[in-house]
């Protein structure tokens, strides 16, 4: 019988109130609270806490506080990752971010979702869809990436965009829902 955590990571319906998951979320909140209180001048300590929090971390990673996430261990970032202030990653599912990616202030990435049928939804189960972001992606301020999207290498997400579908490589998308407005060379 799979655990609720195993079901969560597999994208199956799971109970978010499972004691193990509640404890995992609390541990992540404790780490992010400590991270967010570290002085900007103490970069080594912030890098150490990011290493403790995330599932995997590349080289030359920089997170501006405040930063928030659900679990942390489902977040995997490549080399040269940068996120500006007020980033939120709800990582019940896997979030894979490639090399040399930049997130502007207030970017939100969501993997958790809920049943569409009200009778099932009010019972409380959730499920997840992973989010994958390629290399050299720039995501503008206050953009939202919804569960299950993939963003191709070199793409640019305009500020305030809501990404509901996959984004091909080397394009600029913007709007709600985000649509391609330009192809890049």
Percent of the chain with pLDDT over 90: 96
Q: Tell me the mean pLDDT in the region 10-16.
A: 97
Distance CA 108, CA 162 (A): 10
Q: Which residues contact 105 (CB under 8 A, 6 or more apart)?
A: 64, 84, 85, 86, 87, 141, 142
Decide if 97 contacts 76 (C-beta within 8 A): yes
Active site residue 108: no
CA 147 → CA 40, 102, 123, distances in Å? 31, 19, 20
Tens of pLDDT, residues 48-73:
999 999 999 999 999 999 999 999 99
Distance CA 104, CA 96 (A): 17
Taking domain 4-183, whether its CATH number is 3.30.465.10 is answered by no
Tens of pLDDT, residues 121-143:
999 999 999 999 999 999 999 99
Residue 40 has pLDDT above 90, yes or no: no
Rg from Cα positions in the chain: 16
Nearest to 128 by CA among 109, 143, 142: 109
Q: Are strands 75-77 and 67-69 parallel, antiparallel or unpaired?
A: unpaired
Catalytic residue, candidates 34, 68, 114, 129: 114
Residue 155 has pLDDT above 90, yes or no: yes
pLDDT of res. 185 = 86
Distance CA 92, CA 77 (A): 16
pTM: 0.96
Domain boundaries, the chain: 4-183
Does the N-terminal peptide bond of residue 177 adopt cis geometry, omega within 30 degrees of 0? yes
Q: Which residues pair with 109 in a beta bridge?
A: 89, 145
Decide if 51 contacts 72 (C-beta within 8 A): no
């Amino acid at each position: 019988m799979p655990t609720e955590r195993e079901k969560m990571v597999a994208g199956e319906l799971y109970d978010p109130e499972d004691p193990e998951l509640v404890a995992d979320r609390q541990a992540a909140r404790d780490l992010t609270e400590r991270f967010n209180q570290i002085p900007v001048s103490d970069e080594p300590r912030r890098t150490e806490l990011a290493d403790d929090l995330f599932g995997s971390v590349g080289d030359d990673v920089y997170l501006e506080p405040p930063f928030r996430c659900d679990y942390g261990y489902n977040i995997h970032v490549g080399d040269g990752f940068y996120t500006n202030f007020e980033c939120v990653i709800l990582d019940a599912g896997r979030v894979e971010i490639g090399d040399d990616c930049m997130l502007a202030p207030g970017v939100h990435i969501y993997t958790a979702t809920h049943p569409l049928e009200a009778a099932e939804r009010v019972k409380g189960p959730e499920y997840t869809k992973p989010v994958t972001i390629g290399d050299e992606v720039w995501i503008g301020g206050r953009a939202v990436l919804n569960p299950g999207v993939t963003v191709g290498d070199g793409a640019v997400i305009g500020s305030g965009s809501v990404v509901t579908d996959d984004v091909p490589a080397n394009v600029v998308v913007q709007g709600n829902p985000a649509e391609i407005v330009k192809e890049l060379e």
